Chain A
Amino acid sequence: MTPPQRQRRQPKQQPLAPPPAKEGEGPNPERLYVIGGEAGDRAALDLVTLIVARADPAPCATPEQEALIRLCAGPLSVAELSAYLDLPFSMVTVLLTELLTERLVQARAPIVRQEIPDRNLLEAVMHGLQRL
């Protein structure tokens, strides 16, 4: 039995830029989706940005804010906050943006893939996995 055949693709020059719409092709269905509905000004939060509370919840905090602040008494990723609160990721980022503005929580930025990857980081991950 012969497996089906794939064809390799090349990296796009500008990976983040949307492809230009070609004449007569109709709208690309994917382009019609927006994430999380109406987007206001949001902090740049990744799924794995670690959030940790700065102080005890202020008395004026909303129930949602209070729940969030309580959750991040210790550091937790935005993904975990979203899971525990059972709220969509984008909704959590809206709540966190308020808390970050009010300086009630602190964000620890993730280490993202870079043009020239950090070998020490990769080696640390390998050592950690070896101990698993």
Chain B
Amino acid sequence: MDFKGSDTLPGPRTEDRLPHTAQAAVKIVIVGGFGVGKTTMVGSVSEIRPLTTEETMTQAGVGVDDNYGSETKTATTVAMDFGRISITEQLVLYLFGTPGQERFWFLWNGLFEGALGAVVLVDTRRLEVSFDVMGRLEERGVPFVVAVNTFPDAPHYPVAELRTALDLPEDIPIVECDVRRRASSRDVLMTLMRFLHSLAMSGALT
């Protein structure tokens, strides 16, 4: 175990500490292809300087013939950006931006399982890169909204056309955003929360 220099003790800056009253946390996951703006979004709404957590995944050499019949293992490190928003003195919201290689997203134990919901960020120049992750969220019953991060040279589709292309039911919100702007990222999160709230309300009625 190597720590980076023992003189400089790692830790949060004073302003990045949580109050002692913080009792519980919730999380939202932001997914989308490489370069779609996940890190930018986390950074624009986070109250702390965005941090990175990582996980090591070991691939066992199953079915691979290696030299001496010993088990080969390949370790891959997957890094994930995250930020934080204090909701109340007791409640904290964390935002996680998924790492580049999608096949790892759902292996990161508990990343999606406990999340309130997810934001699928899409770039209309490469819509298809988000198809698989939407399907996986659907399979796992993780509620999500779609946010179109608008890049200047990207094709602009009317929402109805996007809904058809993404094969999304009427109730799943599709919104446009500019994740570089805090207010715009905040509005995306609000859209997700309102959607989750409406799901909770309809669940209570049935």
Do A and B bind? yes
Tell me if A113 and B116 are in contact (CB < 8 A). Answer: yes
Q: Smallest Cβ distance from A34 to chain B, in angstroms? A: 5
Cα-based distance from A104 to B86 in the complex (angstroms)? 26
Most buried by B among A4, A122, A128: A122
Task: Name A36's closest neighbour in chain B (CB-CB).
Answer: B56
| Proximity bits, B117-140, A CB within 8 Å = 1, else 0 | 100000010011001001110111
Q: Smallest Cβ distance from B156 to chain A, in angstroms? A: 10
List the 10 closest A-B pairs by CB distance, nearest first: A128-B87, A112-B114, A83-B51, A3-B165, A48-B25, A9-B135, A117-B200, A8-B167, A82-B53, A9-B138
A132 at the interface (CB under 8 A from B): yes
Tell me if A117 and B196 are in contact (CB < 8 A). Answer: yes
Size range of the interface on A?
35 or more
Tell me if B113 and A112 are in contact (CB < 8 A). Answer: yes
Say yes or no: A6-B166 contact (C-beta < 8 A), given A37-B75, A90-B55: yes
- In the bound complex, residues from chain A placing their C-beta under 8 Å from that of B87 are 124-125, 127-129
- In the bound complex, residues from chain A placing their C-beta under 8 Å from that of B86 are 128
Cα-based distance from A111 to B92 in the complex (angstroms)? 10
A109 at the interface (CB under 8 A from B): yes
- In the bound complex, residues from chain B placing their C-beta under 8 Å from that of A76 are 12, 17-18
Task: Name B52's closest neighbour in chain A (CB-CB).
Answer: A83
- Which positions in B face A, CB cutoff 8 Å? 1, 3-4, 6, 9-12, 17-20, 22-27, 45, 51-60, 62-63, 75-77, 82, 84-88, 91-94, 96, 103-104, 106-111, 113-117, 124, 127-128, 131, 134-136, 138-142, 155, 157, 161-162, 165-169, 182, 186, 189-190, 193-194, 196-197, 199-201, 203-204
Tell me if B53 and A89 are in contact (CB < 8 A). Answer: yes
Tell me if A74 and B18 are in contact (CB < 8 A). Answer: yes
Task: Name A84's closest neighbour in chain B (CB-CB).
Answer: B10
Q: Smallest Cβ distance from A36 to chain B, in angstroms? A: 6
- In the bound complex, residues from chain B placing their C-beta under 8 Å from that of A88 are 54-56, 77
Cα-based distance from A43 to B36 in the complex (angstroms)? 35
Tell me if A132 and B45 are in contact (CB < 8 A). Answer: yes
Tell me if A8 and B168 are in contact (CB < 8 A). Answer: yes
Q: Can you name 21 A-B pairs with beta carbons within 8 Å?
A: A3-B124, A3-B157, A6-B131, A9-B136, A12-B140, A15-B139, A27-B63, A33-B57, A46-B27, A50-B92, A52-B20, A63-B6, A70-B11, A74-B18, A87-B1, A88-B55, A90-B56, A113-B116, A123-B197, A124-B87, A125-B193
